[in-house]
Chain A
Amino acid sequence: MPSTAVLLSQAFNGLALGSLLALVSSGLTIILGTLGVLNFAHGALFAVGAYTAFVMMQATHSFVLALIGGCAVMLIIGFAMERLVIRHFYARPDEDQILVTYGIGMVLVEALRAWFGGNSQRVPVPSWGMGATKLGFLVYPTYRLQLIGIIAALLVGLYLVLYRTSVGLVVRAGIENAGMVGILGIDVRRTFLFVFAVGIVAVGLAGMLYAPVVAVTPDMGASFMVQSFVVIVLGGLGSFPGAIVGGLIAGEIISLTSAFDSAYSEVMLYGLMALVLVARPQGLFGTEGRV
């Protein structure tokens, strides 16, 4: 049995990982719920976000400026992807959408590899996030605490957009019934463009925020994408609360299991997914009948 200190610090790691997964998954889930498109390029876009932070940090030496610039870059990528490719796939079968986004992901990852090489890059921890903070019962790296706070703020912001604005109302209505929203005379195409871009910025931001904690490589997003798929299966397809709760559950399972035996941390996550598929196929927050 691991000591309380180890468990506590793993619980905090789980919170950090979980909030990151929640951000990645909420981007994936609002695109999936509204547009009906499963974005297989999501992992690649996570890596694009991290590399953007790397380039911007080198240019500006300010993490905040890097985040702002990075958001602009992700926004442009999101708009371009939707306009040039995704838009032509709304009426095509799910399988085609999956294939084309997989292809985009492959091209993005290879472009990163061609540009920056296959070796890992490092993004420095911002000056205001150096060192460790004493929490009384635990000493924990400051930046990771800030990471949890920043992501919580971003998710609250996304919640406010989705649940307190008229655009958000259209998005949520679109998740329920996209056809009906179109019939009501709302320009669904513009909403789709907006939602897609927001989803891409969300995953890009996750990549940027995570960059100082890990080695930045072209393939870094793949495992996050698969984990965010699991989060969506857990939380329920297209459900924003499901993505957040599912993300936190996934993060805690991975971190707490590795306190006991790290060999089983990922296996436990997929085991839980299998359990949910049997016991509650629509996910924790999903409604039966969708998909």
Chain B
Amino acid sequence: MVPRPFRAAWPELALLVALIAAPVLLPPLGFSHDLLSRALNWALFGLGLDILFGLAGLLSFGQAAFYGAGGFVAACLLVSGTIQSVWLAFLIGTLAAGLFGLAVGWLAVRRIGIYFAMITLAFGQMAYFIQNSPLSDYTGGENGIAGVPVPVIGFGAWAVRITAGLPMYALLAATFFLGFVLARRIVHSPVGLILKAVKENTPRVAMLGHDVPAYKLAAFTIAALYAGLAGAMLGSFQSYMPPDAFALETSGQLVVQTIVGGVGTLVGPLVGAALWLWLRDNLQLIPGFGSLWKLILGMAFIGLVMGLRRGICGEILHRWGQRREAARLGAAKARTDAIEEAIAAGGGVAPEVPAEVALPMPRPAFDGRTAHAEIALEAQGLARHYGGLKAVDGVSFQVRRGSIHAVIGPNGAGKSTLFKMLSDEVSPSAGSVLLFGERLTGAGVTEATQRGVAKSNQLNQLFLALTVRENLRVAALARARGRFRLDLLAPATGRADVEAQVETLLGILDLGTRAETRVGVLAYGEKRRLEIGMALATSPNVLLLDEPLAGMSPSERVATCALIRRIGRSCTILLVEHDLDAVFDLAERITVLSEGRLLADGPAEAVRRDPAVQKAYLGAAPDEALGETTGTWGAVHEPA
């Protein structure tokens, strides 16, 4: 048995062995030391893109801007004689690229997908033109900067110059190795987990209380720092800083290499770069074939994007992990089938009554002055108009601290819109929301969660590629860490309080046996429970549940009602639900909406007897109307 720390670090060890063996074993295959050095430089550059695209899902076509910035700042400082130490120039070049990345990223992360790719590409071109013309006195314009010195280790008589060939390979290999170790730490940090979640479902991460733009900007800056270091080393190792470093082609080549090698694997950029350079160097030697190498590579790339989307390393890792995953999936599917069978057989499902575990009381986010307020949440004249449509029209009500409060109303009454205003997802046209007497409206959904208002959605918003445990961890980290924190080197699993909370929640949600299952393969009812659990994991003071029972089987409803009642012991709950039996069973107070207006508001019994409610809401006067009603009322979709 291999000791545990070594097993956890096998990728690092494997890479170390490969980097040591490569200059010995690979040259006969056409990989010269120079080619391997260049591949390592591209790979270091690519580590940044892999974090940006592979981890956070942000595809940048402007990475050349930072590669060039790092390179030219370092080269310019060295050749002009401003700085003697090559190492210091590397550091300054890297930091300069990082600063540039921070500025460009600040503009670019406001947009996603298509816009993000376009903007990064455009800023890449801008950097190219700035180097080429306005700054050509410093950068040599189209000529670049020649005579960049190589780094020196040691002092005086002991000084060793790191020249091209094996010494430079060793330096680049060591740098890439450190970059790789650091990148893996980042991937496994809380920031890495949050970025993974951002890639899956950005709005939900914001809803959980994480500052999404800040995390994206962090990823963008990290990518720029990697690019800057690679660029700074490029000039030194070629003793020439080429203007192509800024070219559009450079950004494109980096993207292609990373995809071909396998995005999200961290070694993919290295394999992709080695393959690209090997093809270029070797195919060009074949007579009559020389100019075709890039055409062939382009076709292979199209095929890769259309079919094998994982790239070379991704495919290998996938095949390797497939057997383990298959076993896990089989077990998960068996359980799903069993549940569905039981449901089909007539409902005696009964998800076993979960063990009685006490929920931790959420820590109050409000200060002592208001901590004893009797009113947890208050809507004051809330209104939301869409053009002429008044979805919500001046609704005021109060939710008492520690109560379970329900909002009901026929379809189109404005319940979902009201909920979105309570969690500040949608800003009201008029009126405001007070949380423990303090104005919440205008703070934004992320801040609302940080202050203690969490919401579970009518339609599941989960991170399907992550496991149940990871989903809950992303949520639990939000209030434990605050809006934004750059703990890049801490492990995501390292917070004992968060892990304990996740474990408790797994028990309460009866998802303990599913903890390591990918959420994508969960049964519907389990996903519904997890959706509630996600909101609960943010330790809210006020929990908003938007149709928690939607689509559940009768037995699942019973279990979920029990869950809600239990949650209600430790926090204030406001829920929207069409299942009136459940509503009257759970809620102490009920607010009735009709066509965007408040129809009634009061204790459950009073609302039940209110003739206006019966008339307007049920369209029938007889008392038994409510008694007979079971199940869901109509379709669940309303205008957002």
The yes or no answer to A278 lying at the interface (CB within 8 A) is yes
In the complex, how many angstroms separate the beta carbon of A103 from the nearest chain B beta carbon?
A: 4
Given A95-B53, A99-B305, A104-B302, verify A270-B125 contact (CB < 8 Å). yes
Given A113-B291, A267-B133, verify A291-B122 contact (CB < 8 Å). no
Of A53-61, A130-138, A224-232, which binds chain B? A224-232
Across the interface, name the chain A residue whose C-beta is closest to B291. A114
The yes or no answer to A161 lying at the interface (CB within 8 A) is no
Interface 1/0s, chain A 236-278, versus B by CB < 8 A? 0100000000000000000000000011101100110110011
The yes or no answer to A30 lying at the interface (CB within 8 A) is no
A291 and B302 form a contact (CB under 8 A): no
Within 8 Å CB of B57, what residues of A?
Answer: 95
The yes or no answer to A233 lying at the interface (CB within 8 A) is yes
Given A95-B59, A107-B299, A274-B107, verify A263-B133 contact (CB < 8 Å). yes
The yes or no answer to A96 lying at the interface (CB within 8 A) is yes
Q: Which of A110, A233, A263, A264 contacts B122 (CB 8 A)?
A: A233
Most chain B CB within 10 A, of A99, A222, A264, A266, is at A99
B252 and A264 form a contact (CB under 8 A): no
The yes or no answer to B584 lying at the interface (CB within 8 A) is no
Within 8 Å CB of B292, what residues of A?
Answer: 110, 114
Of B109-117, B177-185, B534-542, B545-553, which binds chain A? B109-117
B115 and A237 form a contact (CB under 8 A): yes
Within 8 Å CB of A267, what residues of B?
Answer: 126, 129-130, 133-134
Q: Which of B117, B136, B295, B306 contacts A88 (CB 8 A)?
A: B306
Within 8 Å CB of B126, what residues of A?
Answer: 266-267, 270-271
Interface 1/0s, chain B 180-218, versus A by CB < 8 A? 000000000000000000000000000000000000000
Interface 1/0s, chain A 80-114, versus B by CB < 8 A? 00000100100001111011101110110011011
The yes or no answer to B463 lying at the interface (CB within 8 A) is no
Given A103-B305, A277-B110, verify A270-B123 contact (CB < 8 Å). yes
Across the interface, name the chain A residue whose C-beta is closest to B299. A107
Within 8 Å CB of A193, what residues of B?
Answer: none
Given A110-B295, A114-B295, verify A38-B302 contact (CB < 8 Å). no
A94 and B113 form a contact (CB under 8 A): yes
Q: How far is the CA of A85 from the CA of B304 in the complex (A)?
A: 12
In the complex, how many angstroms separate the beta carbon of B431 from the nearest chain A beta carbon?
A: 22
Q: How far is the CA of A233 from the CA of B53 in the complex (A)?
A: 22
Within 8 Å CB of B115, what residues of A?
Answer: 233, 237, 291
In the complex, how many angstroms separate the beta carbon of A117 from the nearest chain B beta carbon?
A: 8
Interface 1/0s, chain A 38-68, versus B by CB < 8 A? 1000000000000000000000000000000
The yes or no answer to A284 lying at the interface (CB within 8 A) is no
A264 and B134 form a contact (CB under 8 A): yes
Across the interface, name the chain A residue whose C-beta is closest to B113. A94
Q: How far is the CA of A277 from the CA of B123 in the complex (A)?
A: 12
The yes or no answer to A32 lying at the interface (CB within 8 A) is yes
B117 and A38 form a contact (CB under 8 A): yes
Q: How far is the CA of A114 from the CA of B291 in the complex (A)?
A: 6
Within 8 Å CB of B121, what residues of A?
Answer: 226, 229
Q: Which of A106, A113, A118, A277 contacts B301 (CB 8 A)?
A: A106
A232 and B134 form a contact (CB under 8 A): no
Q: Could you tell me the dominant secondary structure of chain B's interface residues?
A: helix
B129 and A266 form a contact (CB under 8 A): yes
Within 8 Å CB of B134, what residues of A?
Answer: 263-264, 267
Count of inter-chain pairs, beta carbons less than 8 A: 119
Chain A, interface residues (CB within 8 Å), range:
35 or more
A230 and B256 form a contact (CB under 8 A): no
Within 8 Å CB of B61, what residues of A?
Answer: 98, 102
Within 8 Å CB of B255, what residues of A?
Answer: 99, 102
The yes or no answer to A124 lying at the interface (CB within 8 A) is no
Across the interface, name the chain A residue whose C-beta is closest to B141. A263
Interface 1/0s, chain B 376-408, versus A by CB < 8 A? 000000000000000000000000000000000
Within 8 Å CB of B172, what residues of A?
Answer: none
Name the interface residues of A17-37: CB closer than 8 Å to any CB of B.
32, 36
A278 and B107 form a contact (CB under 8 A): yes
B295 and A226 form a contact (CB under 8 A): no
The yes or no answer to A281 lying at the interface (CB within 8 A) is yes
B298 and A291 form a contact (CB under 8 A): no
Name the interface residues of A167-195: CB closer than 8 Å to any CB of B.
none
A94 and B305 form a contact (CB under 8 A): no
A291 and B110 form a contact (CB under 8 A): no
In the complex, how many angstroms separate the beta carbon of A213 from the nearest chain B beta carbon?
A: 21
B114 and A99 form a contact (CB under 8 A): no
Q: How far is the CA of A102 from the CA of B121 in the complex (A)?
A: 12
Within 8 Å CB of A96, what residues of B?
Answer: 305, 309
In the complex, how many angstroms separate the beta carbon of A291 from the nearest chain B beta carbon?
A: 6
B133 and A262 form a contact (CB under 8 A): yes
B111 and A230 form a contact (CB under 8 A): no
In the complex, how many angstroms separate the beta carbon of B347 from the nearest chain A beta carbon?
A: 35
B294 and A291 form a contact (CB under 8 A): no
The yes or no answer to B102 lying at the interface (CB within 8 A) is no
Q: Which of B113, B118, B130, B295 contacts A232 (CB 8 A)?
A: B118
Within 8 Å CB of A263, what residues of B?
Answer: 133-134, 136
Given A222-B248, A270-B123, verify A291-B113 contact (CB < 8 Å). yes
Across the interface, name the chain B residue whose C-beta is closest to A117. B291
Q: How far is the CA of A237 from the CA of B118 in the complex (A)?
A: 11
11 new A-B contacts at CB < 8 Å, known A98-B61, A104-B302: A32-B114, A94-B113, A95-B113, A106-B256, A106-B297, A106-B301, A111-B295, A114-B291, A226-B122, A226-B248, A270-B122
A-B contact pairs, 22 of them (CB 8 A): A38-B118, A85-B306, A88-B306, A94-B114, A99-B59, A102-B61, A102-B256, A103-B299, A106-B294, A106-B301, A107-B299, A110-B294, A118-B291, A222-B248, A237-B114, A262-B133, A263-B133, A270-B123, A273-B119, A274-B107, A274-B123, A277-B107
